[in-house]
Amino acid sequence: MSEYNPRTSKYRRPRSYFSLPGLLIGLALGIGGALVFAWNFAPVVEFDTEPWQLDRDARARYIVAIMLAYSYDGDLNLAVQRLIDLRLPGDPIQAVADTACQLASTGYVDSSSGLRAIRAMIAFYQSQGRTGCAELLIPADSAAPTTVFEIVVPTSTLPPVATKTPTPEADANFTPTPLRVIVATSAPQSRFSLVRLETFCSVELPGIIEVYVQNSSGDGIPGQAVRVRWVDGESTFYTGLKPERGPAYADFQMQPGLAYTLDMPGQSNASDSALAATPCIVPETGDSSLQSYRAVFRPSG
């Protein structure tokens, strides 16, 4: 007589502590939550990016900044070295012409700042014997307007040399011919104002002046000259040369014990208050650091 073994019920089976569907669902939720946190609450801030590591659009903005900086300081060696640092394939100067052609065929030239940037690029690569299509796509830069003044220049009359013939009398109706003097007058530059100047204290950025130059819509303008001055010294730096911080950005490292004024040379007044790298305390951590500043320039009016 065989021994009776009752059928094993599913309720009597040993429990398993591993669930493949549960594992997959938990993994998906974990990855999704991590991405949401990384993108929205703790995004990675990129610092110290080398120029050659930039993507295509950022390289184009960087080239624009180089050309605008060159139009201000005329330092050809520095401009070429910055282009070489981009590690562009082929001729770096011809790359400027190609980039200008690309930008001139888009809406980039719809703004006055974009048009000025393209013309600065054209002037650079044409002076180095390169050609492109940008000069065919945008109107030529108009000559500076001129004003004509008519000035009557009086001339002194010397006593006549004695002669045997009588000196003819001067014509009482003689009218001096006016001298036409053509005086070139340049178009007024855009004026900027320091619309915001605030302080902050940071261990990562001690004693630094962060500057943002924007248009009236708040978009960054690369290649703008910014200047700091102190007793017996000054330094000029340019926006857009740190593309990972945006086209509007430029910065300057202060030295403790010096007071600085900030302006855009020829385009804005100097800051009313002096900026100094004085000791400060980071509010969140209580760590000691040096006072830093964040300044924003925008067009006046």
Residue 160 CA to its chain's centroid (Å): 67
Work out the mean pLDDT of the chain and round it to a whole number.
77
Kindly give the pairing relationship between strand 275-276 and strand 259-263: antiparallel
Q: How far is CA 117 from CA 8, 26, 120, 223, in A?
A: 82, 52, 5, 8
Cβ burial, residue 178 (10 Å; 0-12/13-18/19+): exposed
What are the pLDDT digits (tens) for 43-98? 655 556 777 778 888 888 889 889 888 888 888 888 888 888 888 888 888 889 88
Contact 272/261 with Cβ under 8 angstroms?
no
What are the pLDDT digits (tens) for 5-39? 555 555 555 565 666 777 778 777 778 777 776 66
H/E segment holding residue 80 = helix 76-85
What are the pLDDT digits (tens) for 106-135? 888 888 888 888 988 998 888 888 888 888
Kindly tell me if the per-residue pLDDT of 40 is higher than 90: no
Three-state SS at 250? strand
Predicted structure pTM score: 0.53
Please state whether 273 falls in left (phi above 0), alpha (psi between -120 and 50) or beta: beta
Q: What gap in Å lies between CA 118 and CA 161, rounded to an integer?
A: 64
Structure token pair of residue 12: 């009597």
Q: Show me where the domains of the chain are located.
A: 51-137, 192-299
- What is the structure's pLDDT at 162? 53
Contact 195/298 with Cβ under 8 angstroms?
yes
**Band (226; pLDDT cuts 50, 70, 90):** very high
- The set of residues, in sequence order, having a beta carbon less than 8 Å from that of 8 and lying 6+ positions away, is none
Residue among 243, 251, 257 nearest 294 (CA): 251
Three-state SS at 34? helix
Contact 210/251 with Cβ under 8 angstroms?
yes
Q: Find out if CATH 2.60.40 is the number for domain 192-299.
A: yes
Structure token pair of residue 52: 């050659």
Residue among 299, 238, 223 nearest 267 (CA): 299
